[in-house]
Chains A and B, each alone.
Chain A
Amino acid sequence: MDGEDGAPKSLMEEMYANGIEGVDDAPSSSTSTTIRKNRPIISGEQLDIEAYAALYSGRTKIMRLIFLADHCDNSGMQLEALRMAYDELKKGENTQLFREVVQKIDGRLGPNYSTDATWCAMVDRKADQRKDKLESELNAYRTNLIKESIRMGYNDFGDFYYAHGALGDAFKSYVRTRDYCTTSKHIIQMCLSAILVSIEMGQFAHVTSYVSKAEQTPEALDPPSIAKLRCAAGLAHLEAKKYKLAARKFLEVGPELGNSYSEVIAPQDVATYGGLCALASFDRTELKNKVIDNINFRNFLELVPEVRELINDFYSSHYASCLEYLGNLKSNLMLDIHIHDHVETLYDQIRSRALIQYTHPFVSVDMRMMADAFKTSVAGLEKELESLITDNQIQARIDSHNKILYARHADQRNATFQRVLQTGNEFDWDVRAMLLRANLLKHEYNLRASRKI
C-alpha cells in the first residue's frame, strides 16, 4: 500500500482522512507532453475530436463522429465532428450516409459542405456499374464451379455492399462464402468480416456466435487475430450487460492488437472498457491479479493514465480521488458509441463496491468521516447505506442518533434454532392438512363407489 512509508500515526491519519487532503496524484501526462501521439485521448478534458477520430478508420470512424455530433451539446464540437464526417464520407462511396450528414450540417458550415448532387450521382452510377460487373463475374465463377473464385466473388460482393452501407446484404454475402471456404484462413477471414458487419449493425448475438466459430478452427490463430476476436467478444458481452465476462475478455487482449483493429476499436477503448467493467464487477483478489499485476494490460492502461490512476486509487482505498476521476471521465464517456448506455450502471456499481469495501474491515464506522471520504452529505450517505443494507450487501446496522455504522454478524446458533422450530411447525401443519385432504378424497371416492352400486 502507498501509506506504508513513514510513522504508523501518519498512516492512520491518511487512512481516516481519506478525502480531506487534496488530490495529489494528478495524472502527470496531461500537461507535460505536447506530442499528439502520447496525449491521452479519453481524459478529463474536452475531447480532441481530430485525435479521437484518428484512432479509427473505415465506417466506424464516420459512425462515431455522427454519434458525437448527435450527443454533445457544444455546437463548435458538433460542427467540427460533422465536418470531419463529411470529409471522410467524400473519400468513400456511401451516398446514403452522406445525405444524412449533409442534412445534419444544414448549411452551417458554408457552401463547401452542402449537398454535392453531382458527386452523389456519379458515385451511384459507378456503383451500379460495379455491381453489374461483380454479378456477371460471380455467375461466370459459379458455372465454372471453382470454389476459390466463387468465394472471392462473394467476398467482393460483401465488401461492395459494406462500402455502400447496405449492411444486411453485406452480411448475407459474407455468410455465403462459408460454403466455399477451404482453409482455416478463409474461415477466419469470413468470421472477421461477419463480426465487423454485425458490430456495425448492432447485432451482437451474431458476434458471439462467429467469435466462437473462429476460435474453434483447428489451426492456431495468429496473435493479432486472437486479440481481435477477444475484443469483439468483449464488446458483445458489454452490450449484453455481462460486465464480468466483458472485463475478462478485454483483459485477455494482448498487446499485439496495436492498431490493427481500428475498424472497430482502439486500444484506448480496450483499456477503458476493460478497466471500468473490471472495477464494477471484480472482487479485490481478481482485481489485483488480473488488472493491476497484468503486464499485458499495463501497456493498454498507459494509453489512458486516468483510468490507471483510478483503478489504483480504488485498490488503495483512496475513494475520493477515484470518484473524482470517474466524474471527470463521465462527460467524454457519454460520447462513446459503445459504452454510453452503460456508464450510469457501471458508475453505480463502482460506487456501491467502494462503499462496501470501505465498511468491510471495520467494526464501527463514523458516518461523518465516511461522508467526507465519499464527498456526499451524511443524509445522502445514510440513504445509500440503507439501500445496500436492505439488499444484504453490507451486514451492518445504522445508529442514526450518533451517526455511526456498526457491523453486525448474524448469530448462527439462534438462527438455527429459529429455523428448526419453524420447520417443525410447518411440518406439523402440512401433515395435518394432508391427512384431512386424504380423508376427504377417500370419502368422495367411497361416495362415488357407493353410487355406482
Chain B
Amino acid sequence: MNSMEGLVTQIQGLSSTASDVLMLQNLLKQANDSLHAESTRLLPFLDQLDPSKHSLGYLYFLEACTAGPITKEQASSYVLIIARFLSSCVSEQIRLASHKFISVCKRFKDQLVLLGEPLRGFALMLTAIRKFQSSTEHLTALHPEFLLLCLLAKSYKTGHSVLEEDIFEVDQPKDLFLYCYYGGMICIGQKHFQKALELLHNVVTAPMFAVNAIAVEAYKKYILVSLILHGQFSTSLPKYSSSAAQRNLRSLCQLYFDMENSYSNGKIGDLETYVQSNKERFEHDNNLGLVKQVVSSLYKQNIQRLTQTYLTLSLQDIANTVQLSSVREAEMHVLQMIQDVEIYATINQKDGMVRFLEDPEQYKTIEMIERIDSSIQRLMILSKKITLTDELMSCDPSYLSKGCRERQKFDFDDYDSVPQRFNV
C-alpha cells in the first residue's frame, strides 16, 4: 500500500513538464508489476488522481485495474470511470503508453458489449481516436473497435464520418482488415455501395501470406455489392492481389460465384430459386439481406438495359420483359428508379407508357466546372504524394542494399553510375 501511495504522490508531483513526465514514465514502467499485483485495490487511488493533469499515471492505474476479469456490476462503474478519463485525458501523455491506452479502450468496448449498451460508447471512442491519432491519415487499433460499436449500435452516420478520411499509414495489418470490413458493412447499411466496394476491395487485395477469415467474409460481401452496383462481377482478382488470395478465395466462396452465374443470365425466376434453395447457407453467413438486395437489383439492371433500346415502352411490355408479375409492380419499380436518379424517364399514366429520356446533364454549369476543378486539384495532391513516397523509398537503406545486390548480376557498363557494393 505504501508503494502505491508513494507512486500517487510522485505522479502528482511529476506531471507538469515534459521532462518530468518522461521520468515519471520510467518510474511507472518499473512499478508496473506491482501495480498489476494490487489490481483489485487500486480503485480508491484513482480518485486522488486527476485525469486531465495526471493522464499517464491515471492510465497506468486504470490499466492495472481493468486487467482482470470484470463482472457486470463492476462493468458499469468502470465504464463511467473510463468514460470520464477518455473525455479529459491529454493526448501527449497517453501517446507515451500507447499499448496501455489501446488495451484500456478495448476493455471499455468489451464492457459496453457486455452491458449491451453500445450507444453510450462510440462518441467517447471517437474522441479517444482523435486524441490518439498522430494525423488523420493514421489508422489506429481503435478504429475497428469504434466501427464495431457503431455497427452494434446501428448508428451508421457517425461511423461514416470517420470513413470519409483517407488512410495511408497502418500499424497492424489486422487493424486494416477489420477496419475495412466493418467500414464496408457500415457503407452497405447506408447504401453507399461505391465506397463499400472500395473498402472491401482493399481487404481482398491486401498483401497477405495466407488467406484469413476476414478476407473470405469480405470477398463474399464484395461479390454481392459488386452485383448490386454494377450488375456484373469480374471473376479474377487484379494482378496486385496476393497469390494466396488468388488461389484460395475462389474455392472458399463458390456459392457466391454460382449465384453470379445465375445472375448474369438475367432471369429472375432462376435467381430466386437459387436463393431459395441456398437460404440457410446465406443466413449462416449473415448475408441474406444483402442477397435479397441483389435479387431486386436484377430488375433494375434489366430495366436499365431497356433504356438503351427503347424510347417509349408500355408498362405492360416492361412487366413482360423483366418478368414482373403485374403492371402495377412495373410502375412501382420504374418510379423508384426515377426517384433514385438511376434512370431518366416520365410515366404517362393515361396511356400506360413510359418515355425514356436522355441524361439532362449538359456539363455546362458552374457546379460541374467546380467539380472538375476540385477533382483535378485533388489528383495533383495525390500525384505529389506518390512522387514523395517514391523518393523516400529510393533512399531507404534496405531497398538499396537489396537493389544493389541484384545489380551485380548485370553488366558493369550499363550501371556504372550506381555503387557496386553497398555496405549496410
Known: A421-B375, A440-B176. A414 touches B359 (CB 8 A): yes
Q: Does B416 contact A (CB under 8 A)?
A: no
Q: How far is the CA of A400 from the CA of B351 in the complex (A)?
A: 12
Interface string of A391-418 (1 = CB under 8 A from B): 0000001111110001000010110010
Interface of chain A, main secondary structure: helix
B366 to chain A, nearest CB (A): 15
Q: How far is the CA of A168 from the CA of B46 in the complex (A)?
A: 100
B311 and A406: CB pair below 8 A? yes
B379 and A437: CB pair below 8 A? no
Most buried by A among B206, B310, B362: B310
A386 and B309: CB pair below 8 A? yes
Known: A417-B363, A428-B379, A438-B389. A399 touches B312 (CB 8 A): yes
Q: How far is the CA of A414 from the CA of B358 in the complex (A)?
A: 11
Q: How far is the CA of A381 from the CA of B393 in the complex (A)?
A: 63
A400 and B313: CB pair below 8 A? yes
B305 to chain A, nearest CB (A): 8
Contacts of B305 in A (CB 8 A): 390
B355 to chain A, nearest CB (A): 8
Of the candidate stretches B11-19, B32-40, B162-170, the one touching chain A is: B162-170
Q: Does B411 contact A (CB under 8 A)?
A: no
B312 and A389: CB pair below 8 A? no
B363 and A436: CB pair below 8 A? no
A388, closest chain B residue (CB): B309
Q: Does B240 contact A (CB under 8 A)?
A: yes
Q: Does B361 contact A (CB under 8 A)?
A: yes
- The residue that B173 contacts in the complex, of A386, A435, A443, with Cβ under 8 A, is A443
Known: A397-B310, A406-B311, A431-B386. A424 touches B173 (CB 8 A): no
A interface bracket (residues with beta carbon within 8 Å of B): 35 or more
Q: Does B408 contact A (CB under 8 A)?
A: no
Q: How far is the CA of A427 from the CA of B386 in the complex (A)?
A: 12
Q: Does B202 contact A (CB under 8 A)?
A: yes
B168 and A439: CB pair below 8 A? yes
| B residues at A contact (CB < 8 Å) | 166-173, 176, 198, 201-202, 205-207, 240, 305, 308-314, 317, 351, 353, 356, 358-359, 361-363, 368, 371-372, 375-376, 378-379, 382-383, 385-386, 389, 393, 398
| A residues at B contact (CB < 8 Å) | 386, 389-390, 397-402, 406, 411, 413-414, 417, 420-421, 424-425, 427-429, 431-441, 443-445, 449
26 examples of A-B residue contacts, CB within 8 angstroms: A389-B308, A390-B309, A397-B309, A398-B311, A399-B310, A401-B353, A406-B311, A413-B363, A414-B363, A421-B371, A421-B375, A424-B376, A425-B375, A428-B378, A431-B383, A434-B240, A435-B386, A436-B176, A437-B202, A437-B206, A438-B393, A439-B170, A440-B206, A440-B207, A443-B173, A444-B173
When A and B form their complex, which 5 residue pairs have the shortest distance between CB atoms, in order from nearest?
Answer: A397-B311, A417-B363, A399-B311, A401-B312, A389-B309
